[in-house]
């Protein structure tokens, strides 16, 4: 199990060549792995299951963690019954941000949601190439359910829509710098795609949230800002996206 931080003489520290430390979760010895090709990390000396929820850290994880203060990253979270897990990010207000690169079963998702309670998922949409292509074509030809905030009905509920349909906590899909066209219009700024459930049909609905507002929401408790559509008067019927938020 790879970690960004370990305890060295009681202090949280990143891996440096030849450094030894202990795992903040299980207390076992960890060694610094500082190779040429992999990101530098700490690795348990013995093969053991320290936290079975932990997934190998990728560049994508590192990038996201790097948005937040050091002390918020890889925080051990305890439940009343003594169960403990390492949260990818836990803010100073107690919000856990789980960065999920690989798919996980609905059972595991639910147990993590119950364990952390106050949490959001950020999902790596670029894990599978097929997801990106499918998502692109879905939003391009999707039906706009609502202009402000912009809600889209993906119609086809396969792949990523099925895997990440919200259970109890909010889900945000991250497609990095990929550009999207929604019903003929380009988006004006980078977004995360929030997955919601339609209150009546219980189907997945998607809503683009500005990336900047998501980061502000996590860092400072700011408002999530959804994009909105401005309809031009007739005969210019083409909808247009503007920097209007709700
Ligand atoms: Zn450990």
pLDDT in tens, 219-245: 999 999 999 887 766 555 565 554 444
Tell me how far the alpha carbon of residue 24 lies from the centroid of ligand 1, in angstroms.
7
Tell me how far the alpha carbon of residue 47 lies from the centroid of ligand 1, in angstroms.
10
Look up residue 17 and give its two tokens: 């060549």
Give pLDDT, residue 186.
Answer: 80
Give pLDDT, residue 238.
Answer: 60
More confident site: 141 or 237: 141
Tell me how far the alpha carbon of residue 63 lies from the centroid of ligand 1, in angstroms.
22
Tell me how far the alpha carbon of residue 26 lies from the centroid of ligand 1, in angstroms.
4
Cα separation, 178 vs 94, in Å, equals 31
> Integer distance in angstroms from the first to the last C-alpha of the chain?
41
Tell me how far the alpha carbon of residue 90 lies from the centroid of ligand 1, in angstroms.
18
Pairs from 105-114 (Cβ < 8 Å, separation ≥ 24): 106/167, 108/53, 109/167, 110/167, 110/168, 112/53, 112/85, 113/167, 113/168, 113/169, 114/168
Give pLDDT, residue 242.
Answer: 46
Tell me how far the alpha carbon of residue 107 lies from the centroid of ligand 1, in angstroms.
23
Tell me how far the alpha carbon of residue 43 lies from the centroid of ligand 1, in angstroms.
9
Average pLDDT for residues 76-104, to the nearest whole number?
94
Tell me how far the alpha carbon of residue 10 lies from the centroid of ligand 1, in angstroms.
15
Q: Which of 56-70, 104-118, 183-197 has the lowest mean pLDDT?
A: 183-197
Tell me how far the alpha carbon of residue 233 lies from the centroid of ligand 1, in angstroms.
61
In the predicted structure, residue 152 carries a pLDDT above the cut 70: yes
Q: Which of 6-10, 60-64, 93-97, 177-181 has the lowest mean pLDDT?
A: 177-181
Q: Which of 49-53, 100-104, 211-215 has the lowest mean pLDDT?
A: 49-53
Give pLDDT, residue 185.
Answer: 77
Note if the pTM is more than 0.85.
Answer: yes
Mean pLDDT of the chain: 90
Contact 56, 39 (CB under 8 A): no
Average pLDDT for residues 8-34, to the nearest whole number?
95
Tell me how far the alpha carbon of residue 23 lies from the centroid of ligand 1, in angstroms.
5
Average pLDDT for residues 177-204, to the nearest whole number?
88
Cα separation, 107 vs 92, in Å, equals 28
Tell me how far the alpha carbon of residue 95 lies from the centroid of ligand 1, in angstroms.
22
Cα separation, 194 vs 210, in Å, equals 10
Give pLDDT, residue 243.
Answer: 47
In the predicted structure, residue 39 carries a pLDDT above the cut 50: yes
Average pLDDT for residues 56-79, to the nearest whole number?
94
Average pLDDT for residues 69-75, to the nearest whole number?
96
Give pLDDT, residue 23.
Answer: 95
Give pLDDT, residue 2.
Answer: 86
Query: Percentage of residues in the chain with pLDDT exceeding 90?
Result: 68
Cα separation, 75 vs 56, in Å, equals 16
Average pLDDT for residues 183-198, to the nearest whole number?
87
Tell me how far the alpha carbon of residue 22 lies from the centroid of ligand 1, in angstroms.
8
């Amino acid at each position: 199990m790879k970690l960004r931080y370990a305890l060295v003489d009681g202090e949280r520290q990143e891996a440096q060549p030849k450094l030894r430390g202990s795992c903040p979760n299980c207390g076992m010895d960890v060694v610094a792995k500082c190779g040429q090709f992999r990101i530098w990390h700490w690795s348990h000396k013995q093969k053991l299951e320290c936290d079975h929820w932990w997934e190998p850290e990728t560049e994508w994880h590192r990038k996201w963690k790097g948005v937040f203060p050091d002390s918020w990253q890889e925080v051990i979270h305890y439940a009343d019954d003594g169960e403990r897990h390492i949260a990818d990010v836990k803010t100073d207000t107690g919000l856990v941000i789980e960065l999920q690169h690989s798919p996980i079963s609905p059972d595991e998702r639910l147990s993590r949601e119950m364990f952390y309670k106050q949490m959001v998922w950020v999902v790596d949409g670029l894990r599978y190439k097929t997801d990106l292509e499918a998502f692109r074509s879905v939003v391009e030809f999707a039906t706009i359910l609502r202009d402000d905030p912009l809600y889209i009905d993906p119609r086809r509920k396969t792949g990523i829509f099925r895997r990440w349909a919200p259970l109890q906590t909010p889900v945000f899909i991250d497609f990095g710098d990929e550009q999207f066209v929604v019903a003929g219009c380009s988006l004006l700024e980078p977004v995360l795609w929030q997955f919601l459930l339609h209150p009546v049909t219980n189907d997945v609905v998607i809503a683009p949230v500005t990336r900047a507002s998501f980061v502000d929401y996590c860092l400072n408790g700011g408002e999530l800002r959804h994009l909105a559509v401005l309809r031009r008067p007739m005969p210019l019927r083409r909808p247009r996206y503007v920097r209007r938020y709700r």
